[in-house]
Amino acid sequence: MRHQTLERVQYIFLFVLLIALAGIGLIAARTAGLGLPDAAGFRPQGVVGAAWDRQIAFISGHAGNDSGAICEDDDGNVLLTEADINARVAELASERLQRAGANVVILEEYDGRLRGLQADVLLSIHADSCIEATGYKAAVHQDSLIPVTNEELLSCIDTVYPEITGLPHHPNTVTHNMTEYHAFRRIDPQTPAAIIELGFLGGDQAMLVEQPELIAKGVVDSLLCFLEKHTKR
Ligand SMILES: [Zn+2]
């Protein structure tokens, strides 16, 4: 009788051990970035040393304020808003960066938390108007106190984002609104920050609407490039 009980306890221990091992295996696989690919066919983001425990802030462009650029049909019905595109990309990019090990916060356009914001990097996510143009562009504060750091950030975006998305640089439309972007003046002056226009709601609509995962990967890999260059704040 006693022997049987002992055997049962052994079986239970073995069972618990197997479950624990399976759990450890799953966590290890997740950390290594193994797993089922997402809708865009990308393997899940794995942990990145340079991203570990870093503070990343996104502004979901126009959130809490207005719709931003819009596409309308001939009757004036709104078909697509920039704010929706920005929010989707901010969400997907945030998920990827969290899997990389970073702490991510998504802010509204005029979020109160922008005042004095301290982070390893801030990126404001916008998209361009509903015209038949194609391409992305990014800008940093023209009067920044950390111009070298911000140029590194911009250079990472200008190298990595077009490489991942295939979108061309569309520099002729970088406006005063971008280099004098309101958030640049609100955040802590030591926080690296940039604003990106992901593409045009018109000419790049198919990619913005149907491949937000690809756009988000372009954003995330751009920021990872910067974090790898700037390991300490
Ligand atoms: Zn915008």
CA of 35 to the centre of ligand 1 (A): 34
CA of 3 to the centre of ligand 1 (A): 73
CA of 195 to the centre of ligand 1 (A): 10
Number of other residues whose CB lies within 10 A of the CB of residue 62: 23
Provide the residue count of the chain: 233
Fold for the domain defined by 38-229: Aminopeptidase (3.40.630)
Task: Give the model's pLDDT for residue 36.
Answer: 64
Phi, psi values for residue 222, rounded to 5°: -60, -45
CA of 21 to the centre of ligand 1 (A): 48
CB-neighbour burial class of residue 188 (10 A; exposed 0-12, middle 13-18, buried 19+):
middle
CA of 123 to the centre of ligand 1 (A): 13
CA of 196 to the centre of ligand 1 (A): 9
CA of 180 to the centre of ligand 1 (A): 14
Question: Do 129 and 198 meet the contact criterion of CB atoms below 8 Å apart?
Answer: no
- Tell me which residue of 99, 75, 172, 190 sits closest to 133, measured CA to CA: 172
CA of 230 to the centre of ligand 1 (A): 28
CA of 22 to the centre of ligand 1 (A): 46
User: What pTM value is reported for the model?
Assistant: 0.85
pLDDT tens string, the chain, 233 residues long: the values are: 567 787 888 888 888 888 888 888 777 776 666 666 666 677 788 899 899 999 999 999 999 999 999 999 999 999 999 999 999 999 999 999 999 999 999 999 999 999 999 999 999 999 999 999 999 999 999 889 999 999 999 999 999 999 999 999 987 767 777 888 999 999 999 999 999 999 999 999 999 999 999 999 999 999 999 999 987 55
CA distance 31 to 21: 15
CA of 178 to the centre of ligand 1 (A): 10
Spell out the domain ranges in the chain.
1-31, 38-229
Task: Give the model's pLDDT for residue 99.
Answer: 95
CA of 227 to the centre of ligand 1 (A): 25
Task: Give the model's pLDDT for residue 33.
Answer: 65
Residue 156 CA: distances (Å) to CA of 19, 33, 167, 220, 226: 43, 23, 15, 11, 6
